Structure 1
Amino acid sequence: MASSSKNFQSSSKPGSDRKYQGALVASPAKAISPKTVKQIVPGKHLILSGESTSHLASFLVKVIALEVVRRFSKARCPFIWNSIQALQVLGYPPFRWIQQWAPLKFIVQGIQKLSTPLLFLSVTTTLCDRSSKRNDELGSNTEAPDVPSESDETASTSGIRDVADGTKDTEPDNWLISLFKELEKQGITLPERFNEDELRRFYIAANGDFSSLLSSVKKTIRWRETFHILTLHELEKWSHLVFWHGFDTMLRPCLIVRLGLACSSLAPSDRPRFGQAVVSQIDNGIVYLTNKEDPRITVLLDCHGISPFRFPMQMMRSFITIVQENYPNRLGVLFIVRLPPVVRVIAQTLIQVLKPSTKQKLRFEGESYKKTLAEFLQIVPTFLGGKCSCPQCEKPRNISVIQAGEGSKSQPRQITIDDGSPVASMNFDEAELPSPYSCENAIRAAIIGVLMLWVFIAFLAGMNDPESISSHAP
């Protein structure tokens, strides 16, 4: 037993010595040979094969083609892109039985081949749209401090009233002294209506920029020299289309403009005078009806009777531009009621012309306009659902003279107007701009949609059976 234990100890010692002679770090003692590297990672797999390159090129071509279709569809026919996205449902298991029908089999197979590029394009466009919306929101937030609010307008008015009462320092601001000096240097005389309160409104609209203030004041003075403001007697001829009707709950005078009735009953040659009457009513109301506490007005635009196929786009743009440039910060709120849904889409283009401060004062009222007007106005006109008994609402109307109907193309109304009163800077006499929803444009969009559908089907058929295309090739 002793000899056996000695043999065991003698045999274990060399083994133990060999155990600790190795390196303790987990790294090879010698460099790895190139053959070993090739066995671990073959070099052929690091290089794209011809088949992978063709797959990548095909994927890029499909993405580019889908992007072209998406851009065209977004600008002309949005239903095309929505239809392509909706057709992806046919490739899901519950709808695979449709492939049993021969006419739709190759379409479903082609859609399945487009599923990956379409998913990639949909995800990227969604992310891009969200990032652009965030940038727009950030941009609007940064521009918000420059927009004069209603509180600023009221504060400026109260400041002028305090100066007139002697409760504040009567020394005028530096910009006002500079404006008087510059106008005197150029030989321009301010009209009597341009008091300090009115000039301060121009100053707020110019965001404190003196050069912009001087330019807007000079432009308004030249406009007043050429534009004829109708008298109260001349406005009686238009009293059924544009008139003042009571006050709102904030004691601001309310101007009613029946745009729909004017568009359906007036001849195109009479519309310049209608625009002149609207501007004249605004001017007279600001002078005689506004109060000192809040010298702004409320406008109610009744659009009942406007044809969705011919919208007076040019007339509205000219009217908005004139009011914004020559009557700054005079609008309290603008109600737009009884506007057809189709025309509401067209009206969105007019909003782009408005200044940011004016956009905040627009209120499009739908079917619940009666409740809104009852809460905001002291007296609602009879034709808008109110129970007013004023002479304006009870005034009898000659049906043979005024024919109010939606889309009426007749010219039944004959208005005798003095030709001596010029209408300057009013581009209302141009023909109506055709609506993008006209019959001609609808037919054109349908033809383009059918052609795009056939091209799409041919594209899917070519992907499904490319040999048929090569066999027909010369």
Structure 2
Amino acid sequence: MGDSWRNSHSSKNLEVPSVITSKKLSKGCLVASAPKALSQKTYKHITSLDRVRLGNGAVSHIAIFLLKVAALEMVRRCSRAKCPFAWYGLQALQVLCYPPFKWIQRWAPFKGLVKGMQALSRPLLALSIATAFSDQSECSTETSDALSDSQLPSDPPARESTLGTRICDEAPQSLASEHWLLQLHEELEKQGITLPERINEDELRRFYTAANCDFSCLLSSIKKTIRWRKVYSILSVQELEMWSHLIFWHGCDVKLRPCLVIRLGLTCSSLASNDRPRFVQAVVSQIEYGVLHLVDVENPQITVLMDCEGLTPFRFPMQMLRSCSSLLQDHYPNRLSCLFVVRLPPVVRVITQTFIQVLKPVTRQKLRIEGDMYQKVLSEYLQTFPSFLGGKCTCTKCSTLGICDIQPHSNEETR
């Protein structure tokens, strides 16, 4: 009996540790399985949070972009009404973000400016492209409306009703016109200034109109032109021949006004920078030749057709255009009937807006920047236009230009 009791007692002692170890094992399994379940739940939760963050990040980027565009649009409208140069100056600062000019940020004063323009670069570029097309459509609409209004015939009853008033006002107007002419001659004689033969009475009337009938402004502009003609060298017909592939006269418009063709894109791609002042001189000399030999009393103005194919933002001749426009506006007032700009690359149109602000309001109204449909517009306003622009002209000049344009391409292919 004693042995049996001992055996039973030992078996009980053996059972207790086994139960304890089984409990420990089950607890260990529970503890080991708990982190796995927790890690899976945490992973799913983190993944969902990342997706929410990515979605919120994209929405925030779009919202910030739209806010920048809205703020820039407010700046554009305010500057357009009060100070247009502020907006165009901000557009010009985009150049600092381009790779050739990024080295400027190495200088401490420009580092903050470059970083600020980089933050505004994309919304500013998007807004500039959008406003460039809208401004162009508004400009062309206003110009076409002005041209159509000027071509509308006046009503016969109104003409008859104002006939008596005109007859009564003719004498005072003629006396007033004679008064400023006499006053101008007297003032020039007092100052010992002699009018050159080139500036006749018709030319003086053009200066008077450009001065808005302000005598002091007229006197200063006449004196400025007299001084300019004494020092400025007009090229002869023989000297202009070397520029004939870049600047030449080609036919007339539908109102028989002579048309001057300027190949600005080809000029910038083939002409060295130190020869650009010479190009401006050639343009002015061609205008002088046209005024002296091509226009008449009935058609005293000229039409200009400017081809801009080949222009790039890095080759845009801003200084050359400013110099040329300044000379022509100061010394050849009211000689331009219309300026057609064709084949202008879309990237360059943003920079062109800065140049347009240099023009006087009267000249700006005569500017027409045409897009892909330029051939249709030119066929409506010109009797014929050069073949390199898609015209059907077969004159000697167009044939010569066609050969000159083909030769450089053939030379490049043989190379």
TM-score, normalised to structure 1, is 0.52
Q: Which residue type is aligned with residue 237 of structure 1?
A: M
User: Of the candidates 253, 256, 281, which is equivalent to residue 261 of structure 2?
Assistant: 256
Match of 2:369 in 1: 364
Distance in structure 2 (CA, Å) of the matches to 1:350 and 1:223: 24
Alpha-carbon separation, structure 2, partners of 1:390 and 1:264: 25
Q: Secondary structure at the match of 2:241?
A: helix
Aligned counterpart in structure 2 of residue 328 of structure 1, from 333, 346, 370: 333
For structure 1, list consecutive stretches of 5 or more residues without a partner in the other structure: 1-96, 137-148, 152-167, 409-474
How far did residue 102 of structure 1 move? 2.8
SS in 2 for 1:310: coil
Residues 54-97 of structure 1, C-alpha deviation per residue, up to 9 Å, x if partnerless?
Answer: xxxxxxxxxxxxxxxxxxxxxxxxxxxxxxxxxxxxxxxxxxx9
- In the other structure, the counterpart of 1:238 is 243
2:249 partner SS: strand
2:176 maps to 1:176: no
Following superposition, the deviation at residue 243 of structure 1 comes to 0.5
Give me the whole-angstrom Cα distance separating, in 2, the residues matched to 1:314 and 1:404.
29
2:58, 2:246 → 1: CA distance? 59
Once residues 307 and 122 of structure 1 are traced to their aligned partners in structure 2, the CA distance between those partners, rounded to angstroms, is: 26
Q: CA deviation at 1:309?
A: 2.2
Q: 1: distance between equivalents of 2:256 and 2:286?
A: 18
Q: Give the root-mean-square deviation of aligned CA atoms.
A: 3.8
Query: Does 2:379 correspond to 1:390?
Result: no
Which structure is higher in helix share? 2
Q: Matched residues, percent identical?
A: 56
What's the CA shift for 1:125?
A: 8.9
Q: CA separation of 1:129/1:354 partners in 2, compared to 1, >3 Å: closer, same or farther?
A: closer
Show structure 1 runs of 4+ deviating over 4 A.
109-112, 117-136, 168-172, 396-405
Match of 1:185 in 2: 190
In the other structure, the counterpart of 2:232 is: 227
| Superimposed CA distance per residue, residues 89-110 of structure 1 (whole angstroms, 9 cap, x where no aligned partner) | xxxxxxxx99934386399499
For residues 64-103 of structure 1, the aligned pairs below 5 Å read 100-102=48-50
Residue 213 (structure 2) pairs with residue 208 (structure 1): yes
Residue by residue, what CA displacement relative to the aligned partner does 1:252-310 show, whole Å, maximum 9, x if unpaired?
00000011111111122222211111100001101110121120000000111222322
Aligned-partner Cα distance in 2 for 1:239–1:228:
18
Give the Cα separation in 1 of the matches to 2:67 and 2:387.
Answer: 57
Post-superposition offset of 1:322? 0.6
8 A contact 2:302–2:335 mirrored in 1: yes
Q: Closer, same or farther in 2 for the Cα pair 1:206/1:98, shift >3 Å?
A: farther
Trace 1:306-321 onto structure 2 (pairs within 5 A).
Answer: 306-321=311-326
Write the letter of the residue equivalent to 1:325: D
Amino acid at match of 1:343: V
The one-character-per-residue Cα deviations of 1:328-349 (angstroms, maximum 9, x if unpaired) are 1110000000110111111110
Deviating more after overlay: 196-205 vs 103-112: 103-112
String of CA shifts for 1:136-188, please: whole Å, max 9, x gaps: 9xxxxxxxxxxxx997xxxxxxxxxxxxxxxx969952111111011111111
Within 2, Cα distance between the matches of 1:110 and 1:386? 50
Structure 2, gaps ≥5 residues long:
1-44, 84-145, 151-172
The one-letter amino acid paired with 1:195 is N
Distance 1:98 1:253, change over 3 A: farther
Pick which of 243-252 and 261-270 moved more: 261-270
Alignment deviations for residues 341-362 of structure 1 (CA, whole Å, 9 cap, x no partner): 1111111101110111011000
Given that 2:207 and 2:218 are in contact with CA atoms closer than 8 Å, whether structure 1 keeps it comes out as yes
The superposition leaves residues 358-401 of structure 1 with CA deviations (integer Å, 9 ceiling, x where unpaired) of: 11000001111111111111011111111111111111677699
Q: 1:183 to 1:391 in 2, by over 3 A?
A: same
Which has the higher relative contact order, 1 or 2, with Cα contacts under 8 A spaced 6 or more apart? 1
Given that residues 260 and 305 in structure 1 are in contact (C-alpha distance below 8 angstroms), is that contact kept between their aligned partners in structure 2? yes
CA 1:355–1:122: 2 relative to 1, 3 Å: closer
Q: Secondary structure at the match of 1:255?
A: strand
Deviations 1:387-439 (A, max 9, x none): 1111111116776998589xx9xxxxxxxxxxxxxxxxxxxxxxxxxxxxxxx
Contact 1:317 1:353 in 2 (8 A): yes
Matches within 5 A, 1:2-13: none
Q: What residue identity is the alignment partner of 1:303?
A: C
Query: What is the TM-score normalised by the length of structure 2?
Result: 0.59
Q: Which residue of 2 aligns with 1:274?
A: 279
SS at match of 1:311: coil
The 1-side partners of 2:304 and 2:235 are apart by 19
Does the CA-based 8 Å contact 1:305-1:404 persist in structure 2? no
Q: State the one-letter code of the partner of 1:241.
A: L
Report how far residue 129 of structure 1 moved.
7.5
- 1:375 is paired with a residue of what secondary structure? helix
Match runs of 1:16-27 below 5 Å: none
Partner of 2:348: 343
Q: Structure 2: how far apart are the matches of 1:121 and 1:344?
A: 22
- Structure 1 residues 281 and 108: CA distance shift in structure 2, 3 A: same
Report SS of the residue matched to 2:383.
coil
Aligned-pair distance for 1:118?
A: 11
Work out whether residues 265 and 402 of structure 1, in 8 Å CA contact, stay in contact via their aligned partners in 2: no
Q: Quick check: 1:297–1:333 contact (8 Å CA) kept in 2? A: yes
Kindly tell me: are residues 295 and 402 of structure 1, through their superposed partners in 2, closer, same or farther at Cα, counting changes over 3 Å? farther
